[in-house]
Amino acid sequence: MPKLKVGTRAPAFTLTDQRGKKVKLSDFKGKNVVIYFYPKADTPGCTTQSCSLSDAMPDLKKLKAVVLGISPDSPDKQKKFDEKYKLGFPLLADEDHKVASAWGAWGKKSLYGREYMGIIRSAFLIDPKGNVAATFYKVSPKNTVRHVTAALSRAAPSVGTRSSPISTPP
């Protein structure tokens, strides 16, 4: 699927979170939303990424942002992951990867010469109007917080000095 472009409308979605609640992107209108796609709950990279975002929540809240994690895991697996690490934000189940596809976060990957389809670890900043303010495709689990915090600081009209969106190179 094509990658999202900064300035475009973020694709709408409704997914089930780890508590069985339906969550819509439109529920967060008027807020900055950090959305990250991760391959599988409770694996080393995904744990690093999710725990880093959880640890950064006080700073992200100061920047008027909420966090949503999305993976192909079931709500039950998401719940166990959340309870184990006390993440404290919605983890959404995209079991058929339709949302990941729409966001350009589902695609061809390779491991040890074997090609397969899977989640392309990605993070996005969605502005309060529902537009893509920043994209981070193939983001490192260790660098996700740094990238989204910098984007929020520079791009969020309510907290930054600039109102122009930013993006990382493809």
Active-site annotation, residues: 46
Q: Which residues contact 128 (CB under 8 A, 6 or more apart)?
A: 29, 30, 31, 32, 157, 158
| Angle (CA) 101 103 5, round 5° | 140
Alpha-carbon distance of 18 to 78, in angstroms, equals: 5
Contact 66, 34 (CB under 8 A): yes
Identify the three-state secondary structure at position 39: coil
Dihedral (Cα; 75, 67, 89, 97), 10-degree rounding: 0
